[in-house]
Chain A
Amino acid sequence: MTVANAPDLTSGDAEASGPRRRPSVGPVRRRRGLTKYLGLTPFALYVVLFLAVPTLIALGTGFFDGDGAFTFDNITALADPVILATFASSFWVSALTAIVGAVIGALVCYAMLGAKPDGPTRSFTSSASSVLAQFGGVMLAFAFIATIGIQGLVTILLKDLFGFDIFANGVWLYQVPGLLLPYIYFQVPLMIITFMPALEGLKPQWAEAAATLGGTRWTYWTRIAAPVLAPSFLGSLLLLFANAFSSYATAAALISQGAQIVPLQIRAALISETVLGRANLAGALALGMIIVMVVVMTAYSFLQARTARWQR
């Protein structure tokens, strides 16, 4: 998908500069057409240099060893039990937080249906959601250390008030399970942002029609709203999965040592260069990650297209 991007761009440019779309354009427009075509080059160049080239390098380095010779060593390293285990933890952390985040987020969206579109509840929720979903990163790690860290507010309150020690079986905050709560904390807001438009797309007339025909609240939500919302819900679920799967900052700030999930494995490979005794492993890991992302995002855009059918 991404690899196809660079050729796509150039072939697209060539096509547009070739045959004219409108037959009415005269010689003056044609000269100008050429200048306008030139106008696309700065952006095209920029995207090639800083998006296409890095992506290709990231995907390509996995196929070379430290001396620049072609090798499948790194790719086969993806089948290494250690690497497979990190992919597995990435998968279950992403899947679990995506499902929990999607369900809670959808509930909040449902609750917000009653609020005025331009009212304070909506604008506060959507701004707060954007902050937490997209810009939290490192700061969310701090927040959770302050909340459920060893000296965290909630940790201490639970211990003092109920005598309940959340770390009775060892400190799990700086391990993979510790990622769950911070991840859910940014998944729910992302769900609110992505799922809200779909819920807003439900036309009141449908509910009215259902009520007129004698339908109950239950039949409306199960027989009408649910099928309409299903693609959007699944799409959002996939987006949430992709979001957690590719998220790095929170995990990096929370887990300073070790490489329990794929992004952290990439960090380890980049810093030490010799994870599992292989150079350029980061490239192979990046390739593995991209494959997962492309599959998930392709499914997402497919579902998104189905969702669009019911909006407007």
Chain B
Amino acid sequence: MTSNAVRIGAEPGTVARRTILIVVGVVFAIPIISMLEFTFRDGLGGGYTLEHWGALVDPEQNSKYRQLFRAVQNSFVLAAVTVAIVLFLLLPTMILVHLQFPKLRRVLEFICIIPITVPAIVLVVGLAPVYGVVVGIFGSSVWTLAFAYGITVLPYAYRAIQASISAVDMITLSEAARSLGAGWLNVLWRVLLPNLRRGILAASLISVAVVLGEYTIASLLNRQNLQTALVQVSKSDPYGAVIFALLALAFVFILLLLIGRVGSTRPGRKTT
């Protein structure tokens, strides 16, 4: 079948395919390799050293990275609160709208896609006064930034959950469960959520990834997260900053690989 597709021209031949993928792959690997090479450099004099990576685990030099470690902590707190917003605000609303307000589905979709049109750099202009109020109510701890991040992740989380919702006939499922005497909580907890878990997991992971990479809002609202700390630290200790950047990229890459796994392994549809 594949060779047939190649013969009639629907798919590229092996040579063409490999050439394109290898050339683009190599070009795209260069900046990452350069970052890696940079972390082993011994100052400007040339030569290589493991010192910068060693400092990461060396308790005596740990103070150098203290700001970064705290920023990583901040970012994880933000990621957790953002995921909570997705799970406790967006998810129930999506289920509710799907089951009870079909007319609002398009409205909800439209709302969730708005953050693509209103980029963070625009949103932050209006968020500054809003955060004036937020700080008055919740104080100025870092986690409050998650309110803004909940909006930023909306398109990604929506798409992930919606993919799951469309794949399952939720209305029939919930009506079947209801007719068997299940209460709404039971329906939600034992019927709907298990069926949506792939989408929920994907939405959570992608939210974590987005939050870990966020810079615009944090920097312009003067909060410290991983990315703003990276920029600050890079001015005094570029090696540490690049090491953390590489680790963050690798971490997010693994997260997304997990999402891919979650999405691609489909079980038999015996439940429906």
Contacts and interface: CB of A to CB of B under 8 A. Distances in A.
Bound pair: A and B? yes
Contacts of A153: 30, 33-34, 37-38
B34 A111 contact: no
Interface in A113-141: 113-115, 118, 121, 123-128, 130-132, 134-140
B13 to A, nearest CB: 8
Interface stretch (B4-12, B47-55, B193-201): B4-12
B264 interface: yes
Nearest to B96: A39
B35 interface: yes
Give the interface centre of A12, A33, A115, A263 by most chain B CB atoms within 10 Å.
Answer: A12
A61 interface: yes
Contacts of B17: 111-112, 114-115
Interface size class on chain A is: 35 or more
B176 interface: no
Given A51-B114, A127-B253, A246-B121, A138 B215 contact: yes
Given A151-B44, A216-B9, A51 B115 contact: yes
A297 B12 contact: no
A37 to B, nearest CB: 8
Contact of B257 (A127, A135, A253): A127
B252 A107 contact: no
A158 B62 CA distance: 36
A50 B131 CA distance: 9
Interface string B1-26: 11011111111111011001100100
Nearest to B112: A47
Contacts, number: 282
Interface string B104-130: 100100110011111111111111111
A56 B126 CA distance: 7
Contacts of B32: 143
Interface string A219-246: 0110000000000000000000010001
B123 A248 contact: no
A100 interface: no
Contacts of B231: 138, 252-253
A111 B12 contact: yes
A295 to B, nearest CB: 10
Interface string A166-191: 00000000000000000001001000
Contact of A249 (B12, B38, B102, B215): B215
B260 A123 contact: yes
A289 B248 contact: no
Interface in A49-73: 49-51, 53-59, 61
A243 to B, nearest CB: 9
Contacts of A12: 103-104, 107
Give the interface centre of B96, B123, B126 by most chain A CB atoms within 10 Å.
Answer: B126
Contacts of A13: 104
B224 interface: no
Contacts of B100: 33, 36
Given A137-B213, A142-B242, A293-B119, A57 B9 contact: no
B219 interface: yes
Interface of A: 1-2, 5, 8-9, 12-13, 15-16, 21, 33, 36, 39-40, 42-43, 46-47, 49-51, 53-59, 61, 104, 107-108, 110-115, 118, 121, 123-128, 130-132, 134-140, 142-144, 146-147, 151-154, 185, 188, 202, 204, 206-208, 210-211, 216-218, 220-221, 242, 246-249, 252-253, 263, 266-267, 270, 282-283, 286, 289-290, 293-294, 297
Given A50-B151, A127-B259, A146-B242, 11 more contacts: A16-B101, A36-B100, A39-B93, A43-B90, A51-B115, A57-B126, A128-B28, A135-B252, A208-B4, A246-B119, A286-B122
10 contacts: A12-B104, A50-B150, A51-B111, A107-B20, A142-B242, A143-B35, A144-B31, A217-B9, A270-B125, A289-B119
